Amino acid sequence: MTNEEKYTKAFMQAFDIDAENVRTLEFQAIPAWDSVGHMGLVAALEEAFDIMLEPDDIVDMSSFARGKELLAKYGITF
């Protein structure tokens, strides 16, 4: 699986949505992505990439696009 696929899958899994709706997603844009859903997303990403996200990055991960930028710090490129 490519990083792109892993990343997309984590979002799909966390919010129970289809791939086509994932890319433009932002925090609170759908009911599933509230603070509780955010905890699930963080767990899904940490598991998919075997990393531990820094608190600053957790609170900054405000959209699908922003999350990708943040993961660069952990050596994950797309």
For 26, list phi and psi in degrees, rounded to 5: -130, 160
Enumerate residues 36-55 that contact other proteins by CB under 8 A. Answer: 36-40, 42, 55
Q: Which element (helix H / strand E) includes 22?
A: none
Q: Which of 12, 22, 51, 58 binds other proteins (CB under 8 A)?
A: 58
Q: CA angle at residue 53 from 47 to 55, to 5 degrees?
A: 140
Determine if 18 is a binding residue for other proteins (CB under 8 A): no
Contact residues for other proteins, defined by CB under 8 A: 16, 27, 31-32, 34-40, 42, 55-56, 58-60, 62
